[in-house]
Every structure is written in structure tokens, then in C-alpha cells.
Chains A and B, each alone.
Chain A
């Protein structure tokens, strides 16, 4: 067996720095914002970050230019932490739902709805046939390709999540529902129509445009995939419709669900070459590689047994907490998964989800420890293989 090498990548969003948030909102910066840009620029080794410091001192600074600087910082954050496949953590996008909807025809904004506590999201309604107004990740991808030194991947919000996070004023009947006892079958039929409309006419042409530009790894984010347990076949169908016949490495990201729900539905999702899934959120912080030590990871056996043998993007960092996982804990989570899978080549290592809710300081420490823990796991696996020879 050749030497074990485990690939690491970040999942998605990273926090936007205060100098970007304030600039986007048209608010003045203070000295601490400038110092933030200076200090992190030095720490991440961002080439020419002095230009940003100078730019931030100008009142007529262009928010798009500041956002591109933020992209540079986040790419370097990951690269300097040692992550193998990088992205800019959504620095140039408004947010994963709003950005896609803003570039689509067939939707109208319907205001802000609570996600939880003081967290909210903008929600739109499907009001007509869906189509792509313009490819909405091309500019970002082209820019990042000019910046990144490591391999790039591009996350794209998936069709089912866009559908289930929207109201549907187009496919559901507008009148005659009151007291009619609309059946679940009627709701599912409407959801299928909307989801497949988005998959065919928004996601797929956007993917085609990215591939045309040279994208080789596209991650289709589906955090809403398990919202309705009786609609998982729609999620699967929409993924297949989105990617079928396209030449690219497609992965998907699922998070914070009862993952058992996805089986057997995803047995039919063979175009997905990697499932990036969050497990650390459900695991203990104790060290150990035994079955009882890793309760958050038991479900990975089901991903292992998928007949088309996708890679598992193993979530090893809990993104909901500032607790920085020690490298040894990351190592043990990986070693448990490697034992279950039998083939380390089917494992990639990543956080549970995007680290947007963590400060750069915490996110950076977590990613550094993820990389270090991965190195420790590689050493252990290589020692074991050498011993077995």
C-alpha cells in the first residue's frame, strides 16, 4: 500500500472581517478595524496587505474591492493553516441563499424570517418560472483562481435547499385551500415541480458556466436536504438533474441532521463523489478510537456501504463552539473512521460546516489543529501499514 495522505478542506463560509462588514454597510471604520487588517495581513502572509490598509483609510473606498481583499485574506487563512483545498468563505457573496436568488428570475423577496434567536435569513417566494439571470459565481471563481496557491473548490447552493427555503406562490394553489385539507401529496408535487425547475434552469446552467471556466471541484451545498423526510427523493432527483453528464468532481455538503434519514434515498445519487458531513457536533471530546469513544461517528458505516463508493468528507471540528479541538482528538476521530472504512483513500478531512460563526482567531486555530491532527493520523496509519508489511 502506498503512503497514506489525507486531503483537508474547509467546508464553506468564514466570518466577514469588521472592515468588510462596515464598508458594505456604508459605516465608518475606526482604528481597530485598520489594525485588524494590518495584523491579520501579517499573520496570514497576505501579499500587499499594506495596500488594503491604505485603501481602508479612504472614504471613497469601493466595497467590491474591499470584498476582494477579504477573499485574499480568507484564502491565505486556509492556506497558511495548511489546508489543501481552499475557497474564500463566501466573502463576496451576501449569503448562500440570498446570493443565488438575487441572480435568478422567478423569485420575489418577501422579507426577513428568524432562523433562531437573533439570527435571521431573507426569504423569497417563487412567483414564476425559474431561470438564470446570469452565472453568479464566475467572477468570484476567476478572481480566486488568480489568488489561490492551493487547489480550489467552489460551493454552490443546491436546488432543494433553495426550494425548501422559499415560499412557493407559483406551484401551490393560491385559492381553494382553506378547509380543503390539502394533502401532503399535493404539497410534495408542488415542491418537486419547483425544485426540478431550479435544478434544470438555475443550478445546471450555473454549473456549466463554472466548468466552462475551468472549475474542477464543485460542492453542492444542501443544508436543507433533510427538512422533509418524505421529500428526500426530490433532493436526490434534483442533484442528479443538476449534474448528470457534466465533467467535474461533484460533492455535496449535508449538516446537522439525523443522517440515518438519508438512507436509502442517496443510494441513487451516484453522481456525488463526496459527502461532506458534520459529525463532531454529535461526538464527545474524549480521546479514543473505539466504538464507544466516537458516538458521533457511528452513522459513517452507512456512507461506507454506498455501492458507488463516494469519499466521505469527515467533519472533525464542531463549528458551534469556540472549543479548539486538540490535534489528538482530530487524530482519533480520523483513525476511527479509517478503521470503519478500511480504505483511507475514501476519507477527506474537514470541519462539520462553515466556520462563519467563529472569530478568525478561533477558526484559524481550529483549522491548524485539524491539519496537525490529520498529520498525526497519517503517521499512525503509515506506521500501522509499515508494521503490517
Chain B
């Protein structure tokens, strides 16, 4: 049993203030950089103290899930400010300018921070990054994600996929082809966030060419998990859109239910980016994730 926190982590109140001040010309980029470093150190510490298995950098400089890769790529542009699912958070929807997307240079250490231990890195899935544009997931995978992956050292790369579960007409075929392009580098997991994966599981989500599949278990019933699920299951057991703190015992009981369905390799994760709660809530949830993992492991022993 593992536990880790992929995705965008919320900024501390101090970093919120620093970035607000930067926008209003009241502070310097250097001062914001220093606060980002302090936030990063605090996030690493809380992950280590919670006993998480892979460290994440929280993507603290990412303005949204797509922006850094869009800005680093030819053929992609930042488009209209768009509501993210049914939240009150908005992102710049990627758009295309006619050319074939191509990553000019991999993201640097400001955007994918080096960490003192085994780490996960989160990137948008090829379907999510191509969503609403005129290019295919395959073109995004080849031109943007593959060169980024080739430049990465990570124990696991989590491809965040917030849209697929809500696309009633979506087919897994194009995504499977795109994911195939991405194999051969770091281990990959497709993280289906904030939505029921039931229909996708029926269509063969578990058969996609990745090492792990992430499922939001606040929207997906456990019965939707196929018997004998053989991949790493990123079990979304923290509700990143709800301020209620989870009970480690309830998570432990849920893990037992997954084991009973024949799922052997499980990683406890949130059901989406924790940035939809404040940093203080996210930190408490993260600590509880660690407690749930520890308690479950001790019970099993």
C-alpha cells in the first residue's frame, strides 16, 4: 500500500498574499520566488512526516494544469478563461494556431522541482491537453508529452485526466493510441479525476497501456472496479472538493474492500488536485492520508 499526492497543491496564505502583491506591484518576483521555496519546503516536510511514499512538488508555480506546457510549445496557445468543471476556479483553455504542436524545450526546475527522494510528476493527459483544440491526443502525445517525459526523472508520472469521465461520447481508442506513444520512459498512471469512472471502466479503462489507473471513489462505486484489477490502482480517497476531513479508519476499511475484490497494488491519493481546498485543509487531509496508510498497513501486519 502506497500513498502520495499528485496534482496542483494549494498555495499557503503567505504565497497567496505574495502573488497578489506581485500583481499589484507591491512586491518583487524574487520575493515571490522565496515564498514559493518556503511553501515547497513545507510541503516536502509534511509529506515526509506523513510517511508518503513518493514526493510531489505541488506544482506551486503552475497557474493551471495546462499553461506551462502550452506556453512551452509551438502550435499551442492559451485561449479563453474557462470554468474548470463545476468549480469556481478557471483555467486558460488550450487552443491551436494551425501548426503541429511541438515542445520547444522541456519544463525547467522552476516548474518541475527536484525533490529529496523518490518523486511523482503530474502532467495533463493527452486527451485533457487536446480537449477543445483541433489536434488529436496522439499529436499532443508525440509532439509535447513524449519529449517532456523523455527529459524527466520520476518514479511515476501521473497523467491527470479531468474531462474524460464527463464526456459521454468519449472513446478510449484515441487515448489508448496516444498513451502507447508515451510508453518506454517513466512508469505512467492515468488519473481520472472528479467524476465517475464507471462507464470508462466498462469500456476498458483498466486495459489502457499505462502502469496505473486513478479513480475518484467519491463519484465511482467500488463495484465498478473489475474483479482481479491487475494494475496499480490510484484510489481517490481524499475528496479534494470538500472541506470535510476524511476518517483514516473509513479509508482503511475501504482498502480492505478493494483487497477483497482482488486489487493488490493500491496507492491512496486524492480524487483530484487538492488546490480546490485551502492549504490548511489540504495539509490536514494529507496528514490523514498518511495515517490511513500507516493504520491500514499495521492492521494488515
Interface residues of A (CB under 8 A from B): 110-121, 123, 125, 164-165, 167-169, 172, 174-175, 177-182, 224, 227-228, 256, 320
Contact = CB atoms under 8 A, between A and B. Distances in A.
Contact of A116 (B16, B64, B251, B280): B64
Contacts of A117: 63-64
B239 interface: yes
Interface stretch (B80-88, B118-126, B155-163): B80-88
B83 A179 contact: no
B218 A123 contact: no
Interface in B20-77: 20, 22-23, 63-64
Contacts of A181: 196, 198, 219-224
A164 B88 contact: yes
A168 B239 CA distance: 12
Interface of B: 10-11, 13, 16, 19-20, 22-23, 63-64, 81, 83, 86-91, 196, 198, 217-224, 237, 239, 242-244, 246-247, 250-251, 254, 257, 275-281
Contact of A177 (B22, B198, B239): B239
Contact of A121 (B88, B220, B251): B88
Contacts of B281: 110-111
A175 B90 contact: no
Contacts of A116: 63-64, 81, 89-91
Given A113-B275, A115-B89, A120 B218 contact: no
A120 B16 contact: yes
Contacts of A180: 221-222
Contacts of A178: 217-218, 237, 246, 250-251, 254
Given A110-B277, A227-B87, 7 more contacts: A111-B278, A117-B64, A118-B22, A167-B244, A178-B217, A181-B198, A181-B221
Contact of B23 (A114, A118, A167): A118
Contact of B83 (A125, A169, A182, A227): A227
A182 B243 contact: no
A169 B91 contact: no
B250 A175 contact: yes
Contacts of B223: 181
The secondary structure that dominates the B interface is mixed
Contacts of A165: 88
B10 A182 contact: no
A120 B20 contact: yes
B243 A169 contact: yes
A126 B279 CA distance: 19
A110 B254 CA distance: 27
A113 B243 CA distance: 11
A125 B239 CA distance: 14
B286 to A, nearest CB: 14
**Nearest 6 CB-CB pairs, A to B?**
A111-B278, A181-B221, A179-B222, A118-B19, A116-B90, A167-B243
A228 B86 contact: yes
A179 B221 contact: yes
A175 B13 CA distance: 29
B93 to A, nearest CB: 12
A118 B20 contact: yes
Contacts of B217: 178-179
Contacts of A118: 19-20, 22-23, 63
B271 to A, nearest CB: 10
B140 to A, nearest CB: 23
Contact of B242 (A172, A179, A228, A256): A172
B244 A227 contact: no
A180 to B, nearest CB: 6
A110 B241 CA distance: 12
A113 B239 contact: no
A116 B11 CA distance: 12
B237 A113 contact: no
Nearest to B280: A111
A112 B13 CA distance: 7
Given A165-B88, A177-B239, A114 B244 contact: no
A182 B63 contact: no
A165 B87 CA distance: 8
A112 B218 CA distance: 23
A176 to B, nearest CB: 8
19 contacts: A111-B278, A111-B280, A112-B16, A115-B88, A116-B91, A117-B64, A118-B19, A118-B20, A119-B23, A123-B243, A165-B88, A169-B243, A178-B218, A181-B219, A182-B218, A227-B83, A227-B87, A228-B86, A320-B81
Contacts of A113: 10, 88-89, 275-278
A121 B87 CA distance: 12
Nearest to B238: A178
A359 to B, nearest CB: 11
Contacts of B224: 181
A169 B243 CA distance: 7
Contacts of B16: 112, 120
Nearest to A223: B88
Contacts of B219: 181-182
